[in-house]
Chains A and B, each alone.
Chain A
Amino acid sequence: MIGAGENSAGTLGIVMLCHTALDRAQQVARFWAAGGCPVVIHLDRSVPGDAAKELRAALADLGAVRVIQRHRCPWGRWGIVAATLDATADLLAANPGVRHVALTSGACLPLRPVAEMMAWLAERADTDFIESVSVHDVSWTVGGLSVERFTRWFPFDWRRQRWLFDAAVEVQRALGLRREVPRPLDPHLGSQWWCLTRVTLEAILNDPKRRRYERYFRHVWIPDEAYFQTLARRHARRIESRSLTLAKFDRNGRPHLFYDDHLQLLRRSDCFIARKIWPQAERLYDFFLTDKVAQGRPVNPQPERIARHFARAERQRLEGRAGLYMQSRFPAETVTRDKTAGPYAMLCGFSALYPGIAKWLSDAAGTRVHGHLYARERVEFAGGARVWNGALSDSAALRDYNPRMFLTNLIWNTRGERQVFQYAPQDATDPGLETFIATDANAHVAIISGGWVLGFVGRDPADPEVRRELAALQKSELALLERLRGPEARAQVRIWTLAEYLEAPDDNLALMLAHIAPGAEASKPPERVALDWVGPFVASTRNAGLPLVTLGDYPTGAAPASGGWRAPE
């Protein structure tokens, strides 16, 4: 043990409330006693007699440890406070040297040597450490009850009679039944685990109105988080409103457990006491109940790291990882947030106009540019790869079995690298997929509508088979455009008709680049395919009864209306 001031020896008393894992409680009591702390253990009256006898026998050799067993302590009821009051009174009466009393449980574990804690407290002789927050200001309580804990009656057990409990509260609300808080108390709430000075405790125990307060608090809900917290406000000279016991609760109000693998986290927290420890966490008990953990210097507790650790876990439980679809996270389609893991881009019509667009784009934007991921024969991964990140196969059948998951898998597997892919009505289009993309805020879509018609080069517009094909593809494209413009669309969409686009192709290409990869440097635009056949082709289909509307007002005469476009030299 390090050289703590001798004057602080025996100044800290420990009250332990125990009901299970009594062997652990015994171990911890020994530790406190060895450090010179008198200990009073209150055993829940529902602990069977054998176990209680065993505990007493095991601790018989320690004069400083006393075991009492007076009250039943069901969760959230008065018994816990009554037990605490009795144990504290016993402790103070028997140990006049005690200046601070810490309330702990059987699942608490001291993280630092007793002497360090005593020395630290000795320097703060007049300070009461109790989290005590005015009910009018906070809403951290479970079940939405805060002020009402003090102003209603709670005849039913929340854990075992939840339905009755809720009904009773509702009835009282409806009837406007209210209890008066005894004057001059100002209701406060806070963690059950405190460390109070003798002066404050004696003032609470000897308060002339103690009987009145007890009668009142008997029917407050979870009085162990209210009784001392409220009365300390009345009697304490100096309150530090935080608990020296590190305890973290999940959103259901259950304490997080500490396991062996939390050892470093606990050690670095420099807190004095932690709860709740998993009873079988051998390493924690072995490590912290020896003097290995002495800091040798008076450092202050820093529970923030642990708080962050658990806050992260809560966030993972509630929000999950964006864009992840897996066995225990499968957001329904109605969940519109974070549909994919990151931004990506879909290009329609560009690959037909610029055969070399993929290479040009990946050079210019530094992103991964795939071909037609949804091509009918196989998945056209960048570079013609057969498999992609995460062992994503290029089999069209596997992809088409669940086109949407193919996309979300790809985006998830390539987190941190933006993916760009081509899409056209000729591909294995899927309405579900298109709706998904349209409603995904991560999607950046750039479309030259009608661009896909360029794939018909060399085909005969007089052939009714070709016209049927054209009609079907145009219908499919119109459906896509409608989805992208729909009321629920969240994708960032940029649409040109082919005619529009060709009015200023180089400028529009730069706009497209800025749209899918902001900040990218555009180099010399890639080559376009020859377009001289398109006007007559469009005219011919139109005259045969099939207007290709998605191209826009494509000039069907010999020369374009404005001089913006011409067949590449």
Chain B
Amino acid sequence: MPPPRYAPPTPARRGAGMPRRATAALVQRSGAMPQPKTGGSVAPRDPMRHEKGHSAGSLRKRRDRQLGLGATLRMRAERQAKLARALRKSRELRRVALRTDRIRPDMILAFTTQRNERIRLPYFLEYYRRLGVGHFLMVDNGSDDGSADYLAAQGDVSLWSTTASYRAASYGVDWLNHLQWRYGARHWTLVVDVDEFLVYPFCDTRPLAALTGWLEASGRRSFGAMLLDMYPKGPLSELAYAEGQNPFEIARWFDAGNLCITRNARYRNLWIQGGARARVFFPDRPRAAPALNKTPLVRWSRSYAYTSSTHMLLPRGLNRVYDSTGGELASGVLLHAKFLDTQASSLASRARAEAARGEHYGHGREYAAYEAGLEAAPDMWCDWSTEYINWRQLEILGLMSKGDWA
């Protein structure tokens, strides 16, 4: 039989020779996008995401607009596939310390994946306890620095551990989706990495419960908080971070006004790139720079699922954390303390290790860029870097907004 004249390399075809793992099949059937790493990930090279380009993606996008129902059904299928996948992936999790019986009905819950972040943990937990997070549900991904033991000893932490692949679990999203599905429903849930610190309007005087109460009264189910990359002045290795220290004593500079924003018509979220990471590490290929938009705080329901780190959620309505008629919705910022020398593994050596491990999005492409960048230009600081003061400063600079929460 002659070969077919046109045979698109469908995923099913490509996967035919491989062991038939349900994982692969499901992802592909749902058309899920490549999953960036949780916390500062690389923008997927997905044509759908960009306005131009005559790819299958943009054609599908056009069709979506015409057939609202079709899009809705497709989204629903994608969401359900995501949830099914999370359920299956949950088998990789092993309970280490289960204290979920301590969760009270109106508690705010934090969900986190971590690997070898022992030195960061004390301040992370303290920061969110002070804001009023009631319980931490954490997944330890094969740490060997004692962080699992440390977490297991905390009275307000429930810990799961796994040595399975972070990448195969959609960069941790599947694990957390499952934990949220199981324990997060009807709670306000906060999904953050250990190097992400939520700043919201009035966070110095009002606990998180004030914010969630107000959001709920205003009929909002989700709250956007963009990543803001913080960095020190001078080479990263010059100032070492000490356990328990506020990381922003060291990494207290940021880029105030160089973001790129486009609207993602498919998921209705904003796609934000730019900032210090794009300026320093991706000046020649901004498209590959990490996405900064995040929706970390959501009043969870069992039918919700994060699709791509905390950048996007389904159902799509949860991604509408912005106003498109000229007004401002309330929003916050996740201060990102990634660029910090945490001794145990300086960022450069960490970047080397992670680039080699290839467990992060795009096979650690982002870390490869850091490795190259950090060796070439270890100083991210520039003449127009802004020194962090407080949330009011971020509000005035237009990085976040009070909206009508006064």
Contacts and interface: CB of A to CB of B under 8 A. Distances in A.
B382 A387 contact: yes
B66 interface: no
Contact of A391 (B217, B282, B287, B385): B385
Contact of B398 (A312, A314, A318, A321): A321
Interface string B356-398: 0000000000000000000000000011111000000000011
A316 interface: yes
Interface stretch (B56-64, B160-168, B179-187, B259-267): B259-267
B115 interface: no
Interface in B247-301: 255-263, 270, 272-274, 276, 278-279, 282-287, 293
A409 interface: yes
Contacts of A405: 259-261
Nearest to A278: B210
A190 B299 CA distance: 34
Given A325-B261, A327-B226, A391-B279, A313 B326 contact: no
Contacts of A387: 279, 382-384
B258 A392 contact: yes
Interface string A528-561: 0000000000000000000000000000000000
A324 B382 CA distance: 23
B386 A391 contact: yes
Given A256-B406, A280-B209, A317-B404, A392 B328 contact: no
B330 interface: yes
A309 B328 contact: no
B258 A393 contact: yes
A257 B216 CA distance: 13
A337 B327 CA distance: 11
A326 B401 contact: yes
Given A320-B328, A405-B259, A257 B214 contact: yes
A94 interface: no
Interface stretch (B188-196, B317-325, B346-354): B317-325
Interface size class of B (residues with CB under 8 A): 35 or more
A97 interface: no
Contacts of B272: 327
Contact of A327 (B279, B284, B322): B322
Contacts of B257: 389-392, 409, 412-413
B398 A324 contact: yes
Given A259-B210, A278-B210, A327-B272, A390 B285 contact: no
Interface in A334-362: 335, 337-338
A398 interface: yes
B207 interface: yes
B404 A261 contact: no
A278 B213 contact: yes
A316 B258 contact: no
Contacts of B276: 391
Contact of B258 (A251, A335, A385, A409): A409
A317 B283 contact: no
Contact of B404 (A250, A391, A392, A402): A250
A330 B323 contact: yes
A254 interface: yes
A388 B398 CA distance: 17
Contacts, number: 182
Contacts of B158: none
B129 interface: no
Given A327-B226, A397-B286, A312 B406 contact: yes
A316 B330 CA distance: 10
B205 interface: yes
A310 B405 CA distance: 9
A332 interface: yes
Interface centre among B210, B274, B382, B385 (most CB of A within 10 A): B274
Nearest to B331: A328
Interface string B212-241: 011001100000111000000000000000
Contact of A317 (B226, B279, B403): B403
A409 B260 CA distance: 9
A59 to B, nearest CB: 26
Contacts of B282: 398
B400 interface: yes
A132 B293 CA distance: 47
B279 A393 contact: yes
A338 B326 contact: yes
B404 A329 contact: no
A105 B270 CA distance: 42
15 contacts: A256-B406, A259-B202, A278-B210, A318-B404, A327-B322, A327-B331, A329-B322, A330-B322, A331-B326, A332-B325, A388-B384, A391-B256, A398-B278, A398-B286, A412-B398
Given A328-B330, A398-B260, 18 more contacts: A257-B210, A260-B206, A309-B406, A318-B326, A320-B327, A321-B328, A327-B322, A328-B322, A329-B328, A330-B270, A332-B324, A386-B382, A387-B279, A390-B386, A391-B386, A395-B284, A395-B286, A398-B286
Interface of A: 250-252, 254, 256-257, 259-261, 278, 280, 309-310, 312-314, 316-321, 324-332, 335, 337-338, 385-393, 395, 397-398, 401-402, 405, 409, 412-413
Q: Kindly list the 9 A-B residue pairs having the minimum CB-CB distance in the complex, ordered from nearest.
A: A390-B257, A313-B406, A317-B404, A328-B331, A391-B255, A401-B286, A261-B205, A413-B257, A395-B283
